[in-house]
Amino acid sequence: MAKRDYYEVLGVKKDVDAAELKKAYRRVAMKFHPDRNPDDPSAEEKFKEANEAYEVLSDDNKRAAYDRHGHAGVDGQAGMGGGAGFNNFSDIFGDVFGDIFGGGGRGGRGGPARGSDLRYNLELSLEEAVKGTSVQIKIPTLVSCKPCDGSGAKPGSKPVTCTTCGGHGQVRMQQGFFSVQQTCPTCRGRGTIISDPCKSCHGQGRVEETKTLSVKVPAGVDTGDRIRLSGEGEAGADGGPSGDLYVQVHVREHNIFKRDGADLYCEVPIDFVDAALGGELEVPTLDGRVKLKVPPETQTGKLFKLRGKGVTPVRGGGVGDLLCRVVVETPVGLTSKQKDLLKEFQATMKGGKYSPKQSSWFDGVKKFFNE
């Protein structure tokens, strides 16, 4: 009887990748497995056929030979009903059930687990964030136990091989046809057990401690930036590597300046005389005071840009600017004489040419009501 095309057997195209090939084989093998079809004599043959097809197509060299010469290129290499084919099937389903039950599909325990990463919220002033600083922080964390060097065993002794799993950290359970691997319940995947625990850490290998660290904050950081301190997180279990510490930056609000990227903003109140006649004001910057020249007839909202008085971003780029927004302030607490002078001044302001915006606004109001 002529053999069917291997790609046809698994229901895939010739350009199928390894992942899709594996899924297709799993699907066909599950469908025709003899244990699932005890009353169908043809199921076992179809299962063996799928097993042979996958054994060839999953091997790059065999697949290349099959693509060039067909069955003649691989006859005698594929296993029909032998151990090799069935082992492939077991491996594939071991991958799946190993994930479900907490074990790897191919056995063996991993090395010591890495410690957890930690986060610390650091609050800075605007000046500290813009110019950079160094701060001392205290971090409560788990560190490796010094007396036992993180092993958890009493000094002078050491952990012994787990007798349940033989040091593999995994145990295999047979469930019908499937062989399922899961974490050893005795040693919890470590492969060893501690018969004589360290008195300092009670067998945990780690103890709680508050560490004092120096954090160098680079110039230009802003709210949301993170500073990573490698290896300053929690110590790993069983002597595993430590995690990292992430310092999360938050910049407090400033009573004068607001930051927007590389630029700073501030409001500068001026009296109406300086706004009308012009003048020179002294304004603050993060580097000290500077003079700001205000031209005559300056209105509220006018922006003055002081170049290079902003922030140099931490990720590079040009230094920003300081933008000063003028706010004309109405005088309060006037004396009677001052009020009389203002009334006298007001009497000279008839005609609308002195307040063009006010005049045009009233004209617009009149037009609105007339229409």
pLDDT in tens, 243-253: 999 999 999 99
Same domain, 241 and 133: yes
Same domain, 263 and 182: no
In a domain, 338, yes or no: no
pLDDT band at 37 (very low <50, low <70, confident <90, very high): confident
Q: pLDDT over 70 for what percent of the chain?
A: 87
Same domain, 133 and 241: yes
Q: Which residue has the higher pLDDT, 321 or 363?
A: 321
Q: Which of 101-110, 280-289, 359-368 has the lowest mean pLDDT?
A: 101-110
Domain boundary among the residues 229, 251, 273 is at: 251
| pLDDT higher than threshold 90 for residue 192 | no
Same domain, 123 and 227: yes
pLDDT of residue 41: 81
The domain that contains 94 carries what CATH number? 1.10.287.110
pLDDT in tens, 360-370: 777 777 777 78
Residues 85, 274: Cα–Cα separation, whole Å: 93
| pLDDT higher than threshold 80 for residue 93 | no
Same domain, 194 and 129: yes
pTM of the model: 0.59
Q: How far is the CA of 197 from the CAs of 130, 184, 187, 237, in angstroms?
A: 51, 20, 14, 14
pLDDT in tens, 135-163: 999 999 999 898 988 888 889 888 888 88
Closest CA to 304 of 327, 287, 277, 288: 327
- The token pair that represents 25 in the structure block: 């084989």
In a domain, 237, yes or no: yes
Same domain, 272 and 184: no
Same domain, 167 and 291: no
| pLDDT higher than threshold 60 for residue 87 | no
Q: Which of 12-16, 37-41, 52-56, 81-85 has the lowest mean pLDDT?
A: 81-85
The domain that contains 285 carries what CATH number? 2.60.260.20
pLDDT in tens, 106-123: 334 455 778 899 999 999
Same domain, 173 and 275: no
Q: Which domain holds residue 46?
A: 6-101
Same domain, 225 and 267: no
Residues 150, 239: Cα–Cα separation, whole Å: 5
Domain boundary among the residues 40, 73, 101 is at: 101
Give the Cβ contact number of residue 79 at 10 Å.
Answer: 16
In a domain, 342, yes or no: no
Q: Do 150 and 239 contact (CB within 8 A), yes or no? A: yes
The domain that contains 185 carries what CATH number? 2.10.230.10
pLDDT band at 175 (very low <50, low <70, confident <90, very high): low
Same domain, 129 and 214: yes
In a domain, 318, yes or no: yes
Same domain, 157 and 243: yes
Q: Which residue has the higher pLDDT, 106 or 63?
A: 63
Residues 335, 274: Cα–Cα separation, whole Å: 20
Considering its fold, how many domains does the chain have in total? 3
Measured torsion, CA atoms of residues 339, 343, 348, 354, in degrees rounded to the nearest 10: 70
Same domain, 244 and 156: yes
In a domain, 367, yes or no: no
